[in-house]
Structure 1
Amino acid sequence: MKESGSMVYRFLPKVFLRAPYYSFSGYDLSRLPEVLQEQAFLNAVFLASAGFYHLLEKKEFDFDRLTDKEKHTLSKYYNRMCFRSTPFGSFSSFTLLNWGNGGQVRLSGADESLLHLLPDQAMLRELRTRADSDLAETLMVNPMLYRFNDVLRYTKSALDDRGKFNFSLQGIAAEKFNVNLLAFLASKKVSKKMALSWVIERGDCSEEEAADYIGFLLDAEAIFAASQGGVIDQELIQDFPGLPGWKDFWRDNTKTALSEGVSLSALARDITRIGADPKLNKEQPFYAALERPVKVGGPDSAQQEELSRAIRILQLLNVVEQPADLSRFIRDFRSRFDQEKVPLLLALDPDSGLHYADMEPSMTEQDVLANMPFANGKEKNRSLAWHSTQQFIFRLWVGDTLRDPWAPLQIREDDVARLENEVGPGLPLPQTQALMYRSTGEYLIMESSGGVTATALIGRFSCFSDSVYRLCRELAEIEAVANPDIVFADIAQQSDSHVDNINRRRPIYDHEVPLNVYSSQPAENLVLPADLLLSLKGEELILESAKLNKRVIPRLATAYNFRNNHSPVFRLLCDLQFQSLQAGLSFSLENFFPGLNYYPRVCYGKVVLCLAKWVFRDADIAHLSIKDNQVLVQALDIFRKKHHLPRHISLGETDQQLVFDLADPAEARFFLQCIEGSKRVTIQEYLLPDRSVLAGKKPVAGQMVAFLAHQNNIYKPFKKENISIKGEKQRDFLLGSGWLYFKIFCIPRASDEILTNVIFPFIKSQKKRIKKWFFIRYNENGYHLRLRIMAAEDDLGAIIVALRKKIESSGHEKLIRDFQGDTYRREIERYGAALITEVEYLFYAGSNLAAAVLTLRRKRTLELSEFEQAMFTAYHMITCFLPSLASITEYLSKIAGRFMAEFNGGKPLKVAMDVKYREMKSVLADLSESCALSKHLSPVLKQMSVLNELTKKYSKDKKMELLANLVHMQLNRTFSVNQRQQELLVYYCLQKYMASLRAREKSLS
């Protein structure tokens, strides 16, 4: 789906402000001894590292008793609390605002700020496990449980020593008792008492034996109890009956006013005393966030105009890349399952399905593909082609020879107009977006924009603030209203006992996909993984719920970096969020031109799209490690002048930045300490904030998060074609039940030899018995031929014997590496029940054509090459099926474009294929003429006409999709290796040829 070039976003009324606790204007490293006595700072240190806090406590918070290393760590924390706006712990705060009409945002001072506290996720997990017997237990099936043959498989999650979850595939026997028990538990959450009664009654066992078996299933994680825990819940504080003071403690301390001078270390000791349980002595029992109420003001709504213009240029500059892992999975899914609907968990099963993020098929050279620069699947798009946006920036950067090389790049209005013409329409924008920026007075600095939903950036704060939770729900509702009949479902996954603190959130979307969690949501709100199906529609991987009969769009309403998780189901669901969206709107020169030492600032009007950046290697900064402070500061001054470093800089990236004033000797030394021993140092210019945000009477480095939304529909519900189907068609044929299906494994080069000398003579000798037959080539679990034979059941045994004898007597048995029989499963999803029989007749005719061609080629009586034959066949199949030159050129362009996208086809590949097209031009001119193949092609075209008549009520898109499938299968029989690469070349040449015919037709008319 393409998006119009106009700005479609509107700004929502709310703005989320992130701001450091301290003012940047009062930052002074010499104040550290004084800061170390402030309770707010000590609380922030405690939340960041309880271990480091206790070390300071042992030294009575006496700065002079600290080692240099400890002082250095303290300096980093202080710097963070003055400059870094990311609200982790209490280093910085969050505030929900409305847009204003100018003036300042005035936040409440420390006395009115609220410190929100929740129990740490790791501590909760430990408490749930220990209090298992005290909890009002209900049980549910592991949401990742599914059946594979005679085993019930599921994913088990286990914590390692570092608190990270590892995932393994486990299984229990799919015996009738287990199947029925797990079906009973899957229907709804069941009390432990009911489960025991069920096992006692149907297992004919004692209560003790039943309890042991339930315990076994819990330990194995085939079923979950509440002790499994989760990350999405309305009830933020769970009760533990065995800890009588637990709930009272959190009721009193969930919201704590900083004016009370509370000590988090003292509160942590209070937790230890609850229930007189020494095991509650966790080093860090809290997950916290600091909220500062607003007294008056909001960001100036006049800024929206500048920000809107910046969003437009970011759309144009952004090079959309679908996640590489998802692209590979779609390619492999197409090869493995084609258009079949496959259960999600079976599609990712290591035996029946595909790996995720770990697939790389090999390719073999073919003469016709010589000098064709096909991309390696693992290469990034940006290294394969020189995009128009890169060309634009390069001209802007290098083309102006009069520009000071250290000066900012300024994008002007005429540049934008030119870029709009070059780039054209893009993919749809996400329904909602979070735009993060800060103001310097002179500029608005874009700090982050992108993602697939604005809920991701603020979802974790829904646990702390009802107003933020309502905003999250409003953002989710915008998606739902704009996309009716689509189910948006939040992915619930535990990944890391510490990091899962930021994954905790209240239910933001109406539905949830639970993975390794004990969900607190009602059954009607759950979309279980076992209920999800995957299929391909065009180039999109479609996820749908069998129970709801609707398309499902996964969402992750948290800023967690899901690529740190190693669960394939979770990773696939998360990557699916980004499919077919222009999700990333942030801009970085380094992404366009990696490996350089310097990148200038890029501006558009008053908006800074990216700040100037310097990248240094260890060799560049080795001379800055001199021990003499005076000499060192002088060396840094020379270094600054050489590389044109500004006075104020930041070190590091994203939420790990430290800010320095290099003109201040103390800060300069602090900077040099921070880069000591680094292999790579990334420095950005730092533009000081303005006074638009005040806390009390002091300015703070406020960072605004604006929310944008549009009402355009992005996700279409399923379209059901009104094509009548007469009777049900049998899908599966076991070996010997009307169809024989054999897999003949061999090397690719031997396949034609086996077809010519074994299969075709055998088919001819059995023509009285064989009603239909066809073959295709396949490369799953090894290259092989797939041979299907239809005959009367009484004849099937004789046919099998005859085929075995033919193989043995032909002298070619050594070319066959393996020979397997299998069930023939008709491709109903691809062709439809109404057409499948006629499609099989086309395959029959196409296989006879392939047999005739290979026979003629062996006798050296065929002048056409394999590639010329493919173009001849494809040309006639296409022109037989489509009525006009206009529809033919549209079809060829669409399919050629699809193949180019599959192979990341850039300019080098196009140039190489243009050369091949010129070589083939004379052959293409003779395509419509009679040739040696016409007689053998006639049955194919006759059957194409039958299918054309049967599909005259099909939509244009569906008919073109069917044609692409039919041509693909015939070209598969034609080419023994590299079928898809050669198929691209066929379509490319035909597209160029038919486009020239259409141009000639237009000129004549």
Structure 2
Amino acid sequence: MVFIDVVHFYANISKIKIYHNLYFMKIIPLDKIICRTPAFGINQTIEEVWEELKLKIEESSPGFHSVIKTLKTSELNQLDEKAKYTIWKYFNRAKFRSTPFGSFAAILNVKLSFAETKNLVITKDMFQHHWINWDQKENYLNNNVSNINYICSNSSIYLVEDEIRYLKTSADTFELAAVTALPELNTILLNCKIKTSLGSIYELMKNVFNMDKRSTKHLLQQLVDLQLLHTDLQANITGEDYFTKLQIAYPKQARNYIIAERALLQGHFDGKLLKSLPEMIAFFTKCFKVPQNTDLSNFKSEFVKRFEHKEMSLAQLMDPEIGIGYGNLAQLSGTDILVDEIKNLKGNILEKQINYGKLQQFLLKKMLANVTIDLNEFEVEEKGNSMLPNTFSLIFHLYHGKPVLAHTGGSTANALLGRFTIVNQEFENDARAIADLEMNANSNVLFFDIAYQAENKVDNVNRRKQLYPYELPILTWSDTNNPLDLNDILVAVEQNEVILKSKSLGKRLIPRIPSAYNYTRSDLAVYRFLCDIQCQGLLTSFNFKLQDFFPGLVYYPRVNFKEIIISPAMWLLPSSALNDITSISNWLAAQHIDKIFKVGYADQSLSFDPKKKEDLWALLNYSKQQDEIYITEALLAEVDYIKDEENNLYSPQYIVNYYHQDRVYNPSSPKPNEPVQFYLPGSEWLYFEIYCHPAKSNSILLGLIRNYLNINKIHLKKWFYIRYTDPKPHIRLRLHLKNTNLGFILIQALQKLVEPEMQKGLITDFKLQTYHKENQRYGSKKIDLIEQFFKEDSIYALFLVKHSTSDYQLMINATHVVKELCELCFETLEEQISFVKKMAKSFAEEMNLEATSFKKINTNFNQLKGNLAKEIIQRPIGINKKWKNLFSKLMVSCEDQAVKQTLLADLIHMHINRLFLADQRIYETIIYHYLIRILHTKLAISTV
């Protein structure tokens, strides 16, 4: 695949309104467009194509085909209403719907050109590619060990005490199974993590356990039957076609899996027709923020609560007993189904809620004025841009040369292209070029495909070549020699983002599902989790429907962006118009609907011509199966049709793929295995939890705790505190003793101070806990330096809390501290701004900030910016020197820039936590946004 020259491409775009979007001048279309055409031309009649239509019906409905296979068109009127309506639907689908399903529609690659234009001409005949249907695979399954060449361990295996747990399938459902771990079993499973020959396993078991071949073979057969081992005779959904690999001959027949292809006789697609699409995409990145995925947000919250900064095995995390699962997909037995349905319905409603803001006001004003809605007229507020995937797709057709969008976005352009990679080498090469684009833009992370099969009836769409260098097979065979496994994948939450890492490969992992499969159909928690991860933090949809903003209206006008039609007009068809053909016709005339319209959505749509009685009769039949019907303008014009060599006219749909080369994923390496260190009460570390209302925490810190520390500081090497809210608000105080023999005395001393406050009710609980050093979080080499810095930062935080007269002043000083730390960490102002912007964006997404919130933050900053300098509380020289020196040593100790930034963010977070009574995350959000303004001002002054 050749990439379009950027200068040439944008030379064709004039008078563009730039949205200050980082991606705008980098969004480029790939040089090919996929053209999808229905099987029959718009002009063709059922009499012309009846015999061919019957063959297509046989593919989709063999039972119905048996009823009509001998009929001639002259005999169709003898059928009952239901059968006639079924035939009408099939014919309508074969003329108007371009979704490539069987031989009902065909695909072809078309060159995208910005130079000369030449109309497309295609072949009438379609070439049908046939494969054995995936639902036939069970007929060829042979798991007899005698016939096997290679085996590989189930990728979901993990160990819990003396149990081996793993996922398996049973009667088309997933279940978590367990077997007792035995030395022989462990040895086989460990050595079969990679593709392994039976001969090598026979030799291994002979050498290690003195087992003969017959005994080993029997054991292997048991493991295969239990699904602990997969074999090369099992079906692989990716890579070389499974049935081809088995060398099974099969005739071309209707029951096969079919993808139809047409040849291009001449022409190319005029790229100038798409000139406004990059600007429209820029508008969406500016105007719409990344939607919050409820399941992923809940997972992050639960993960941080239970595991904090640890890295956990993905296999164990998904375990409903020892992990946290995902999306409520691991149900407890006996759970009430109705309760679950209501909970899920509530969740879905919350996800669909759209806040009423300036865009909604703009749309409503236009609707009430009954004027054309052009989103280009909407003045977008200046705020952060949503991140785009490196590649994505737009599906559209043309109406008088104007793009009409049908579906937009995706986490990768390969989601739509993946299934076509088995058609021919050209499609496979194009998909690999897309994968290369994504990998080259994110060179320090590793992409992996997910080989997954679960539904025989729809798994054909998952069949594809392997496009990415690594693969995670889930309950399937993989053609790769070194497949990933769930236990090797580590999960962490870093800067409010779920991060996957490979223990063995030492890098961050990014999942990819190059398939059009609707993954929300799956009830396998780990698969749903990985699918959601690929969309994390990205704007993956530019679909725009007025109905989403204003549900329940009887009419929705057309919405444009310049010449692009992003949402066609819609009408609610009233039940009073569905009495008979005459009532429908009269209602359509009253609405001035005299051109072809559609009902349904995407690949389930039907098209109707209001001038044809047969179509209105079909609409009456359609209405009998629907509670509510919205009709949508189809926006079809003959000038946009393409011809075949016999001058038949086809209504095409196109897929254009875009890319940008900015890095989307930051690298993140697994943390080294650090020694576990914990200190029980009475050892050299004492760890107290003092529970109190947040409003009383400052008085306890500045009174009781400060007095206690002053009295006993001679006995302490270091100390520090943080505020915590789980399970209830409390202060965590940690003391490092010079002499462990004084531990009991120091415990009693604090107890005597706490007891009166508990009697007053000011302190609600007091606990002595085990101190677990955070070696995994900070590293064993840095932990002592970290604790020293925490001591100086605690002293400094108490100083600020004592001398601040208000939260307003405390926030200004916290902003000043963050600015100082950034200056100590980064050499250039540009680096400081980059870090602060990244953190501000992360917190804005976590807090789900709307335009109103950004406006309030900016307004508040404008009010206080003139008083920043005089509100700063000067640190005592002693505190200042130690605090800065220790911080600088920590920054020098960092292995690379990524580790440095992570540690900086962590130390800032801890400092802000120590300062404020409550809502520390919100204060942190505001502080980062304040600092963006301060640093931008500083940059502007420095460049004058």
TM-score, normalised relative to structure 2: 0.80
Match of 2:922 in 1: 981
Among 259, 265, 283, the alignment partner of 1:316 is 283
Counterpart of 2:260 (choices 290, 306, 319) is 290
The alpha-carbon deviation at position 679 of structure 1 amounts to: 2.6
TM-superposition CA deviations, 1:600-652 (whole Å, max 9, x none): 22345654333222345xxxx222343xxxxx223213322444434310001
Give the SS at the match of 1:635: helix
Q: Which residue of 1 aligns with 2:477?
A: 518
Q: Which runs of 5+ in 2 are unaligned?
A: 1-19, 330-346
The answer for the alignment partner of 2:192 in structure 1 is 185
- Cα shift readout 1:427-470 (whole Å, capped 9, x = no counterpart): 55444343333234453433333223222212112223333223
What residue number does 1:549 align with? 506
Alignment partners' CA distance in 2, 1:929 and 1:648? 72
One-letter amino acid of the structure 1 residue matched with residue 790 of structure 2:
F
Say if 2:682 and 2:743, in contact at 8 Å, map to a contact too: no
State the 1:292 CA deviation: 2.6
**One of 109, 112, 127 as aligned partner of 2:124:** 109
Residue 906 of structure 2, aligned match among 965, 979, 992: 965
Report what 1:363 is aligned to: none
Change (3 A) 1:106 1:799: farther
- Determine the structure 2 residue equivalent to 1:281: none
Q: 2:42 aligns with which of 24, 41, 48?
A: 24
Match of 1:836 among 783, 786, 789: 783
The aligned residue for residue 629 of structure 1 is: none
Contact 2:547 2:556 in 1 (8 A): yes
Q: Quick one: distance in 1 between partners of 2:751 and 2:668? A: 50
In the alignment, what sits opposite 1:88?
A: 101
Choose from 625, 631, 637 the match for 2:585. 637
Alignment of 1:232-311 (within 5 A): 232-238=238-244, 247=247, 249-250=249-250, 253=251, 256=252, 264=254, 286-294=256-264, 296-301=265-270, 304-311=271-278
Cα gap change, 1:998 to 1:622, in 2 (>3 Å): closer
SS in 1 for 2:453: coil
Q: Which residue of structure 1 aligns with residue 850 of structure 2?
A: 906
**In structure 2, C-alpha distance between the alignment counterparts of 1:881 and 1:842, rounded to whole Å:** 13
Q: How does 1:542-621 map to 2 (within 5 A)?
A: 542-604=499-561, 606-615=563-572, 621=574
CA distance in 1, matches of 2:670, 2:161: 32
Provide the C-alpha distance between the structure 1 equivalents of 2:577 and 2:569, rounded to a whole number of angstroms.
22
Contact 2:393 2:413 in 1 (8 A): yes
CA–CA distance in structure 1, aligned partners of residues 83 and 569 of structure 2: 32
Q: State how far apart, in whole Å, the 2-side matches of 1:157 and 1:802 are.
A: 58
C-alpha change, 1:920 and 1:673, in structure 2 (3 Å) is same
Please give the secondary structure, in 1, of the residue aligned with 2:636: coil
In 1, distance between residues paired with 2:565 and 2:159?
54
Task: After superposing the two structures, state which structure 1 stretch, 895-904 or 194-203, moved more.
Answer: 194-203
Map 1:678-757; keep pairs closer than 5 Å: 678-690=626-638, 692-695=641-644, 696-711=646-661, 714-715=664-665, 732-733=677-678, 735=680, 740=685, 744=689, 752=697
Structure 1 residues 149 and 746: CA distance shift in structure 2, 3 A: farther
The 8 Å contact of residues 813 and 871 in structure 2, kept in 1 or not, is answered as no
What is the letter of the counterpart of residue 187 of structure 2? Answer: N
Q: What is the CA-CA distance between 1:479 and the residue it aligns to?
A: 3.1
Pick closer, same or farther for the CA change 1:567–1:769 going to 2, 3 Å. Answer: farther
What do the CA deviations read for 1:856-910 (whole angstroms, capped 9, x no partner)?
Answer: xxxxxx7967846853763564466466998999987775554333212224445
User: Structure 1 residues 751, 336: CA separation in 2 closer, same or farther (over 3 Å shift)?
Assistant: farther
SS in 2 for 1:249: coil
Query: How far apart are the structure 2 equivalents of 1:919 and 1:428?
Result: 31
Q: Give the secondary-structure state (helix, strand or coil) at the position aligned to 2:40.
A: coil
Given the two structures, how large is their TM-score scaled by the length of structure 1?
0.75
Match of 1:874 in 2: 814
**Residue pair 1:769, 1:795 contacting (<8 A) in 2 also:** no
Question: What is the CA deviation profile of residues 13-49 of structure 1, one whole-angstrom value per residue up to 9, with x for unaligned ones?
Answer: 4332211112222256xx5xx86x61x3233223223
Aligned to 2:599: 651
Sequence identity percentage: 24
Counterpart contact for 1:841–1:943, Cα < 8 Å: no
> Paired residue for 1:277?
none
Q: Does 1:154 align with 2:170?
A: no
Q: Which amino acid aligns with 1:776?
A: I
Given that 2:37 and 2:651 are in contact with CA atoms closer than 8 Å, whether structure 1 keeps it comes out as yes
Q: Quick check: 2:422–2:428 contact (8 Å CA) kept in 1?
A: yes
Q: 1:72 to 1:743 in 2, by over 3 A?
A: farther
CA distance in 2, matches of 1:827, 1:231: 42
Q: Specify every segment of 5 or more residues in structure 1 that has no aligned partner in the other structure, as ranges.
A: 161-165, 241-246, 257-262, 265-284, 360-375, 627-631, 855-861
Q: Residues 970 and 501 of structure 1: is their aligned pair in 2 closer, same or farther, counting only changes over 3 Å? A: same
Structure 1 residue 212, shift from structure 2 partner: 5.7
Contact 1:46 / 1:53 at 8 angstroms: preserved in 2? Answer: yes
From the superposition, tell whether residues 996 and 314 of structure 1 become closer, same or farther in structure 2 (CA, over 3 Å). Answer: closer
Alignment equivalent of 1:660, drawn from 576, 601, 608: 608
Counterpart Cα distance in 2 of 1:516 and 1:547: 21
Indicate if the aligned counterparts of 1:385 and 1:906 stay in contact, CA closer than 8 A: no
How many Å apart are 1:143 and its aligned residue?
Answer: 1.3
CA displacement 1:800-835 (0-9 Å, x = unmatched): 985997699779599878968556132554x56664
The corresponding residue for 2:719 is 773
Q: 2:736 aligns to what?
A: 790
CA distance in structure 1 between the aligned counterparts of 2:859 and 2:381, rounded to whole angstroms = 25
- How far residue 83 of structure 1 moved from its aligned partner, in angstroms, is 0.7
Change (3 A) 1:217 1:383: same
CA distance in 1, matches of 2:455, 2:105: 23
Separation in structure 1 between the aligned mates of residue 352 and residue 814 of structure 2, nearest angstrom: 30
1:950 aligns with 2:903: no
Aligned residue type for 1:660:
F
AA in 2 matched with 1:837 = D
The match for 1:270 is none
Asked if 1 retains the 8 angstrom alpha-carbon contact of 2:578 and 2:623, the reply is no
> In 2, distance between residues paired with 1:998 and 1:108?
62
Give the structure 1 partner of residue 110 of structure 2. Answer: 97
Q: Cα–Cα, structure 1 residues 570 and 743, in superposed 2: closer, same or farther, change >3 Å?
A: farther
Cα distance in 2 between the residues matched to 1:74 and 1:966? 68
- The separation in 2 between residues aligned to 1:755 and 1:158, in whole angstroms, is 58
> What amino acid does structure 1 have at the position aligned with 2:677?
D
Query: Following the alignment from structure 1 to structure 2, what is the Cα–Cα distance between the partners of residues 852 and 439?
Result: 67
Residue identity matched to 1:705: I
Distance 1:224 1:473 in 2: 27
Counterpart CA distance in 1 for 2:25 and 2:803 is: 57
Q: 1:79 to 1:4 in 2, by over 3 A?
A: same
Residue aligning to 2:773: 825
- Residue 227 of structure 2 is matched in structure 1 by 221
CA distance in 1, matches of 2:296, 2:844: 17
Residue among 145, 150, 154 paired with 2:157: 145
The residue correspondences of 1:326-725 to structure 2 (distance < 5 A) are 326-327=296-297, 329-330=299-300, 333=303, 339-350=309-320, 354-357=324-327, 379-380=350-351, 383-384=354-355, 386=357, 401=369, 405=370, 408-409=372-373, 415=377, 422=381, 426-427=385-386, 429-523=388-482, 526-535=483-492, 538=495, 540-604=497-561, 606-615=563-572, 621-626=574-579, 632-690=580-638, 692-695=641-644, 696-711=646-661, 714-715=664-665
Q: How many residues align?
A: 890
Q: Secondary structure at the match of 1:180?
A: helix
Confirm or deny: 8 A CA contact 1:880 1:944 kept in the other structure.
no
Q: In the aligned structure 1, how far is the partner of 2:317 from the partner of 2:622? A: 48
CA-based RMSD of the aligned residues comes to 4.8
